[in-house]
A and B are shown apart, each in its own frame.
Chain A
Amino acid sequence: MNLFDLSQASADVRAASPAQVQLDEQGRLRHFLDIEGLPRSVLTEILDTADHFRGIGDAEVKKVPLLRGRTVANLFFENSTRTRATFELAAKRLSADVLNLDIKTSSAAKGESLMDTLVNLEAMQADAFVVRHGDSGAAHFIASQITPHVAIINAGDGRHAHPTQAMLDMLTIRRHKGEFAHLRVAIVGDILHSRVARSQIQALNTLGAAEVRVVAPQTLLPIGVETLGCQVFTELAAGLKDVDVVIMLRLQKERMDGALLPSESEYYRRYGLTRESLAHAHPDAVVMHPGPINRGVEIESAVADGPRSLILDQVTNGIAVRMAVLSMAVSGQMKARAERRGERSRGAGA
């Protein structure tokens, strides 16, 4: 540890950030926690690998033996159908054994029960934990403090990050629009509570998108959101003007109870994506949504099911991206494990 720097009078004793925890010294992925801090090369590698895996889904036998004999545990502390299902399929297509655990956290002794669950699973020699948790930083906490030698894949932590969702969106965009450099992307809806939006903004910036916009009423925008790397719009027509990609976010019904919005109908009139409002975007613009969608609340059915909607493509791409991330992180951990074994045997021989 460092000398407490007296000349600064404010010793920097920050813990390792998710970016530092998820890469090893050689820059290989060993956990996948957060888009922030990952270089463009790693994001591109994920997309290229996922593109390759996407072909497997179209083959007669939808399996590769990359993770044969490995165990992937899905640990969902929060409910999810789609994300969990695609992670399960991704692991199975890589030939891994899959364990699904839905864990309802009690409010008491949260930290302890979380720790006990994880160290027990580690003792069962699981190779990867796919973790969804209601608290921001949960995946980072597990990777940095509890089971650093198990590949941790963040499947959504609080409002913080949902990096596989962001990467499947990037794959979908790249497959339809090509490179990112000329793209304008608008993200519309509840930015404040959205881990998806945070990860998308970071991924689009890292991949070099021309412009990232967020569109929402002031009550659904986090303070300082522009520092994430986006333009802020509070009016839908202006926010959609000439964009190439529109990403709609799901509106949770409880936002009305929290006095963040007056009513669903007023929200839909101002921020709902309809054929009419979509006309402000570029004529070739595509429409995306992380799902599940609320028809008539944030998006009109005719748009969600229309020719410019990529919503089902996103789901298909989700499997490929999760295969890519699982295989990369588990292989990163295996290499590290082999290196540790090598060091130990050298140490014993000396």
Chain B
Amino acid sequence: MKRSLINARVIDPTNGRDGQYDLHLDGGRLIAIGEAPAGFSAEQRDDLAGKLVTPAFIDLGAHLRDPGPRYKGSLVSESAAALAGGYATILPRPDTSPVLDSASHIRTLLDRARDVAGVRLAPLGALTQGLEGELLANMAALKSAGCVALTNLRQPIRDLGVLRRCLEYARTFDITVVFQAQEAALAGQGCAHEGAIASRLGLAGISESAETVALTQWLLLIEQTGVRAHVSLLSSARAVELVRDAKARGLDISADVSMAQLHWTDEQLEGFNANFHLEPPLRSAADRDALRAGVVDGTIDAIVSDHLPHEAAAKSAPFAVSEPGMTSLETMLPLGLALVKAELLSLPRLIETLTFSARRFGLKGGMLAVGEYCDLAVIDMAHEWRISSETLVSAGHNTPLLGMLLNGRVEEVLLGDTCYA
């Protein structure tokens, strides 16, 4: 279909574009920015004055709960939640049931995704078999089957010799390794940031060193092996410094932070609200401020959802035994716009952090290139809406924002020629 989107503010950070442009599409392909080409006659012409058009977002590490227990979510529900949040592509985590540690599991997932999901999937495979941290996964086969990177998530690789071999083997096949830095022995049974608040509430703490000790080990081995790596879900100020230093040394490393970490601190735990039970834990205000600064100065490249839907019972328990995680794909845009409104982040930088993974992992989309298929999000920044169990598309309603008024909503996502409104 030939379509023109006119008068919108268009932001495409990759190409340094921010201004009012008309976009002309043909069969899902962007054929012109600005003037329509000679002879182009649009079948549909949308006047988007006052609206924002950006490349659709790409999320690294959202949990789609598929394969796995259906009461927590499924490809159908979580893919719809991703589209509602403005996402075109999701890099789902491998800690499903079964674990995505073999090529056949990846192929099955991608086949099913083609049938049911509107959103594109670019899966993360397991770095070790069963994520158990002992035997290397069939990395080359996983890559051939469609994995864009491999990860052991937060699961420990206790033997540093095994970790080193993992990185060397990944390097051999030019595979990016994604990791979450947490030393299991130091995290122990903790469920909250180790600090005065957890001490007062009697919650077992996870120290900053649980993150920084593991991060330091990884960084040294990344430097030694030369593997391309991405550290996910930074949580402390000290970790931001370590990544900044590593980048300055020239390591091929990128980093992300969850949106929740940019908003909240451990003060939210005062009332034992299990929706704030997250891994890694919400830390101090100083940590949050350093994470924000890291996003602004580019130390942190991406803001991710850390989307983890749960059924009600998983959160209906005393804090420590509730399951960690928050459903968050649908609140990414309003929470991001809140940072922009508070002048902590520019709007183009926000969009850049929400689309970064395309460039880093060699995916389609994430920018507006003439002649290419393009995934777009149409955004009404002024739209005020109340988030509730009725409005949530995700199977998980585990967000502390239920009942709140939010600003900014995704009106439409265009995936190539398919439009999701």
Contact = CB atoms under 8 A, between A and B. Distances in A.
Q: Do A and B come from one complex?
A: yes
Interface in B193-208: 194-196, 198-205, 207
B339 A115 contact: no
Contact of B316 (A13, A17, A112, A158): A112
A289 interface: no
A346 interface: no
A300 B354 CA distance: 64
A198 B342 contact: no
Interface in A93-118: 109-112, 114-115
A135 B313 CA distance: 16
Interface stretch (A40-48, A220-228, A249-257, A330-338): A220-228
A105 to B, nearest CB: 9
Given A9-B344, A13-B268, A223-B194, A137 B404 contact: no
A16 B273 CA distance: 8
A120 interface: no
Given A17-B271, A223-B194, A133 B264 contact: no
B267 A111 contact: no
Interface stretch (A138-146, A167-175, A239-247): A138-146
Interface stretch (B150-158, B211-219, B294-302, B319-327): B319-327
A30 interface: no
A6 B336 CA distance: 10
Interface residues of B, number: 46
A111 B322 contact: yes
A10 B265 CA distance: 9
Q: Chain A binding site: helix, strand, loop or mixed by DSSP?
A: loop
Interface residues of A, number: 47
B247 interface: no
A166 to B, nearest CB: 13
B358 interface: no
Given A111-B313, A112-B313, A158-B320, A36 B263 contact: no
Contacts of A176: none
Contacts of A311: none
A115 B321 CA distance: 14
B341 A7 contact: yes
B47 to A, nearest CB: 27
Interface string A160-187: 1100000000000000000000000000
Given A9-B338, A112-B316, A136-B318, A198 B200 contact: yes
Nearest to B317: A111
A133 B198 CA distance: 18
A11 interface: yes
Contacts of B288: 10
A195 interface: yes
Given A10-B263, A14-B271, A137 B344 contact: no
B337 to A, nearest CB: 8
A141 B407 contact: no
A8 to B, nearest CB: 7
A1 interface: yes
B196 A140 contact: no
Contacts, number: 139
A103 to B, nearest CB: 14
Contact of B405 (A4, A7, A136): A4
A114 B404 contact: no
A3 interface: yes
Contact of A224 (B199, B318, B338, B341): B199
A127 interface: no
B238 to A, nearest CB: 15
B196 A223 contact: yes
Q: Which of B264, B265, B317, B344 has the most CB of A within 10 A?
A: B317
A13 B202 contact: no
B99 interface: no
Given A1-B403, A1-B404, A110-B321, A6 B314 contact: no
A52 to B, nearest CB: 31
A2 interface: yes
A10 B276 CA distance: 13
B320 A11 contact: no
Contacts of A92: none
A157 interface: yes
Given A223-B205, A227-B196, 10 more contacts: A3-B405, A4-B338, A9-B263, A10-B265, A16-B271, A36-B200, A110-B317, A137-B202, A158-B202, A198-B202
5 contacts: A9-B338, A11-B263, A111-B313, A137-B320, A198-B200
User: Which 7 A-B residue pairs are closest in the complex by CB-CB distance?
Assistant: A111-B317, A15-B271, A160-B202, A224-B196, A159-B202, A9-B342, A222-B199
